[in-house]
């Protein structure tokens, strides 16, 4: 019997397994994850466990091939949309209240934005953060009942591509015929280690770094009414720099500290339950810088420079604005600084682009003034993207190993899940 081992029970791995099960795959499917099953996973375990990162803490499924990472480059536009639909259908199917899943589809860029920013408009499916835990439980139950084996709280420490063996801890090993590697952001160092160990050819990547911006929602309401998860952008092609607002949260919007490589960086999520309403908006101001030698090392160094006393930093020009509370009630872990100087020390002149972005937002949203704060840094460590066969996302050097999700080239739930489905199709 063919043995498929999936490393990572994230969005990509879980969608792949579901597609295999739905189509009566005859082999044995085993999923290994260092996090917990949906019954034991705690709300604050944001990155690891069943449904991975975004499948646990947020539920906005972007629905456009230009957002959330790469898919159409492998399989074309039409196929991408078909694979996206399968991911959204899965979230609806295991949703306790599917009629609440709604799609926002803004159409027109408003005039007041135009002089300063571009606005990327695309549909987003809103699953509702508060339902994710129930969705996860229903989904998990389906997979277990259909014979998928899960191994929890177990870190895969190495993979022998030649002998087709997965190492679990120091002593255990597991053989595979096909391997799906979907370790997401929390496994980025592992992916990097394997890429180096097996000398996998990779594509050059850009730096993606910036800040998480937070302000009262009222200042942005005019735009939120048009586009809930708005994406402002601007490009400086001659400088290799582009900026965009990223992952906007409204109404009940919370900033979340992420812990990667021992450093703090920031992200955000929204709650749907009215009891969490706080009238805030937060979004990343993310800058993409092309042409930096060793972008990963550069980003890590910049992130380290923004750590004080073992935490990230927070700045507001308004002394009354302090770091917010998390949805669990504690304060967002950060150290308050009294200027944007640390950002300049970390990003050098590139920090100017972020400051300028904020200054221009003050023009577009005139009530904003000094009523905002930034958590520094927000960073996307893009894993080195291994070269894969476009028809099944398998490594060009090792065709029985498939890379999916953030470990390959995704940056969002829909694309990650769709990549999982794409690989599952090739195995069927």
Ligand X SMILES: Cc1cc2nc3c(=O)[nH]c(=O)nc-3n(C[C@H](O)[C@H](O)[C@H](O)COP(=O)(O)OP(=O)(O)OC[C@H]3O[C@@H](n4cnc5c(N)ncnc54)[C@H](O)[C@@H]3O)c2cc1C
CA distances to 162, 230, 251 from 225, rounded to whole Å, are: 54, 10, 12
Q: How many residues bind ligand X (CB under 6 A)?
A: 47
368/222 Cα distance (integer angstroms): 12
Q: Kind and range of the H or E element at 21?
A: helix 11-22
**166-174: long-range contacts at Cβ-Cβ below 8 A with a sequence spacing of 24 or more?**
166/5, 166/7, 166/32, 168/32, 174/5, 174/30, 174/32
Does position 361 interact with ligand X (CB under 6 A)? The reply is no
Distance in Å, CB of 282 to ligand X, minimum: 11
Distance in Å, CB of 259 to ligand X, minimum: 11
Per-residue x/- mask for ligand X, residues 211 to 250, rule CB under 6 A? Answer: ------------------------------------x---
Does position 192 interact with ligand X (CB under 6 A)? The reply is no
| Contact present, 269 and 328 (Cβ < 8 Å) | no
CA distances to 13, 109, 399 from 130, rounded to whole Å, are: 22, 30, 39
Does position 191 interact with ligand X (CB under 6 A)? The reply is no
18/87 Cα distance (integer angstroms): 10
Tell me how crowded residue 203 is: count the other CB atoms within 10 A of its CB.
12
Does position 386 interact with ligand X (CB under 6 A)? The reply is no
Q: Kind and range of the H or E element at 93?
A: helix 77-93
Nearer to ligand X, 114 or 325 (CB): 325
| Contact present, 420 and 14 (Cβ < 8 Å) | yes
Does position 380 interact with ligand X (CB under 6 A)? The reply is no
Does position 106 interact with ligand X (CB under 6 A)? The reply is no
Does position 41 interact with ligand X (CB under 6 A)? The reply is no
Distance in Å, CB of 29 to ligand X, minimum: 15
Distance in Å, CB of 404 to ligand X, minimum: 6
Nearer to ligand X, 176 or 353 (CB): 176
Does position 60 interact with ligand X (CB under 6 A)? The reply is yes
Nearer to ligand X, 33 or 425 (CB): 33
Q: Which two tokens stand for residue 253?
A: 């919007």
Q: Which of 10, 323, 342, 384 binds ligand X (CB under 6 A)?
A: 10
Binding site for ligand X (CB under 6 A): 7-13, 32-35, 46-49, 52-55, 57-58, 60-62, 68, 155-156, 182-187, 190, 247, 256, 267, 269, 405-407, 410-414, 416
């Amino acid at each position: 019997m063919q043995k498929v081992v999936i490393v990572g029970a994230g969005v990509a791995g879980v969608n792949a397994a579901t597609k295999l099960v739905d189509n009566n795959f005859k082999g044995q499917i085993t999923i290994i994850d260092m996090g917990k099953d949906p019954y034991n996973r705690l709300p604050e375990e944001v990155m690891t466990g069943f449904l991975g990162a975004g499948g646990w803490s947020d539920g906005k499924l972007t629905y456009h091939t230009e957002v959330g990472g790469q898919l159409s480059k492998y399989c074309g536009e039409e196929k991408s949309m078909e694979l996206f639909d399968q991911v959204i259908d899965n979230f609806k199917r295991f949703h306790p209240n599917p009629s609440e899943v709604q799609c926002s589809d803004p159409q027109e860029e408003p005039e007041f934005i135009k002089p300063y920013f571009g606005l990327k408009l695309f549909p987003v499916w809103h699953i509702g953060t508060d339902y994710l835990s129930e969705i996860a439980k229903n989904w998990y139950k389906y997979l277990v009942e259909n014979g998928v084996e899960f191994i929890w709280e177990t870190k895969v420490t190495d993979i022998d591509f030649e002998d087709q063996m997965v190492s679990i801890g120091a002593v255990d090993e597991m053989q595979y015929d096909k391997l799906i590697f979907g370790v997401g952001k929390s496994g980025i160092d592992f992916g990097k280690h394997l890429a180096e160990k097996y000398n996998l050819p990779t594509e050059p990547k850009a730096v993606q770094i910036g800040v998480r911006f937070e302000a009262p929602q009222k200042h942005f309401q005019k735009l939120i009414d048009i586009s809930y998860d708005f994406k402002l952008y601007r490009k400086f092609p001659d400088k290799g720099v582009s900026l965009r607002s990223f992952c906007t949260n409204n109404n009940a919007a919370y900033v979340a500290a992420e812990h990667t490589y021992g450093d703090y960086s920031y992200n955000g999520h929204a709650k749907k339950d009215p009891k969490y309403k706080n009238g805030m908006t937060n979004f990343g101001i993310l800058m993409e810088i092309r042409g930096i030698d060793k972008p990963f090392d550069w980003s890590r160094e910049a992130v380290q420079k923004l750590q004080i006393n073992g935490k990230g930093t927070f700045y507001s020009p308004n002394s009354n604005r302090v770091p917010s509370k998390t949805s669990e009630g504690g304060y967002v872990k950060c150290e308050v600084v009294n200027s944007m100087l640390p950002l300049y020390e970390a990003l050098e002149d590139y920090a100017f682009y972020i400051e300028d972005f904020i200054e221009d937002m003050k023009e577009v949203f005139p009530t904003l003034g000094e009523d905002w704060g930034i958590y520094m840094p927000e960073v996307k460590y893009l894993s080195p993207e291994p070269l894969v066969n476009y028809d099944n996302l398998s490594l060009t050097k090792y065709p029985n190993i498939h890379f999916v999700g953030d470990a390959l080239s995704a940056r969002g739930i829909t694309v990650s899940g769709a990549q999982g489905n794409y690989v599952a199709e090739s195995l069927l």
